[in-house]
Amino acid sequence: MTTILVYPWTLQQYGVGAEIERLRKKGIDSVALAAHYHSIRTFAPRAESEKFVQYPGGCYFTPEPTDFVSTSIEPLTNEIPGLTEPVSTVREATADRNLDLAAWMVCLHNTRLGAEHPEFRLQGVFGEAHDHSLCPSYPAVQEYYAGVARSLCRCEVDRIDLESLGFPSVLHGHGVDFGHSKNHVLTSDSEEFLLSQCFCDGCRRRAEATDIDMDAAESLIQELLEDSIRGPQDHPPKLVTLVEEYPVLEDLF
């Protein structure tokens, strides 16, 4: 099966039916449509006028309110001029041409939701909060994304593709409308992984039911990152080496 990732505003710009037909003729038999997405400013090479398109994070369909009774997070919807219900409209166009439709659902990475619900944000090892992602340790966050998935199922899509489902990196920011983090200091995946460990209240409550010493882990990671923060390291330690040397990191990971 050959799948293409598509944005609803791109399909609208050239006509949903015409675009789906064009994809079918090129051998595409499955479309993954951005249905719940983060903020974006994207280059549109086929556009005749505006070459960059910008949208805030949110839903590109109308969620069912009863799917969110178990969470304090309310879904945010985006409007696309001339395309009232993107998922349903594309569903009809793909069904008419025997193409599968997947709902492309970006989960935790959503700066708009982080700004609306700061109590559920990712919190880093130095105590700083990061708007670009919610933390999955909170039941309200879990229930919100379950609600989005339930609502998408009502749209009769063939499947739901989940993105950004795990604990995120702190170095992947976007603004509510547009923005992106720049990193010129940390030079390895190990350093980024350490910096991205979450110490929010939700994670600390989960740790209370285990033997994880969150305070000790937090202090240790701060100490390990001090050299990296002062300047790029030629040979930063590998995670496997750190885990062998510090059992508290193995417990945390």
Residue 182 burial class via C-beta count within 10 angstroms: exposed 0-12, middle 13-18, buried 19 and up: exposed
Confidence (pLDDT) at 174 = 72
Q: Are 71 and 144 in contact (CB under 8 A)?
A: yes
What is the pLDDT at residue 8? 94
* pLDDT value of residue 229: 75
For 134, phi and psi rounded to 5 degrees?
Answer: -85, 160
pLDDT at 178: 60
Check residue 17 and give its pLDDT.
96
Per residue in 42-99, pLDDT (tens digit) is 777 677 777 777 888 999 999 999 999 999 999 999 988 889 899 999 999 999 999 9
The residues that bridge with 250 in the sheet, in sequence order, are none
Model confidence pLDDT, tens digit, residues 162-209:
999 988 888 876 766 665 555 667 778 898 899 899 999 999 999 999
pLDDT at site 49: 73
The burial of 243, by beta-carbon neighbours within 10 Å (0-12 exposed, 13-18 middle, 19 or more buried), is given as middle
C-alpha R_g of the chain: 21
Confidence band for 107, pLDDT divided at 50, 70 and 90: very high
Q: Residue 124: its pLDDT value, please? A: 92
Q: Please state, as a whole number, how many other Cβ atoms lie within 10 Å of the Cβ of residue 238.
A: 12
Cβ proximity of 99 and 91 under 8 Å: no
Residue 90, Ramachandran bin (φ over 0: left; ψ between -120 and 50: alpha; else beta): alpha
Q: Tally helices (H) and strands (E) across the chain.
A: 10, 9
pLDDT above 80 for 224: yes
**What's the one-letter identity of residue 79?**
E
pLDDT digits (tens, 9 = 90+) for 7-40: 999 899 889 999 999 999 999 999 999 999 998 8
Give the CA angle between residues 102, 53, 15 to the nearest 5°.
55
Angle between helices 16-25 and 86-96 (to 10 degrees): 40
Q: What gap in Å lies between CA 94 and CA 68, rounded to an integer?
A: 28
pLDDT (tens digit per residue) in 112-153: 999 999 999 999 999 999 989 999 999 999 999 999 999 999
Q: How many CB atoms lie within 10 A of CB 127?
A: 10
Task: Write down the pLDDT at residue 231.
Answer: 72
Q: What is the pLDDT of residue 122?
A: 93
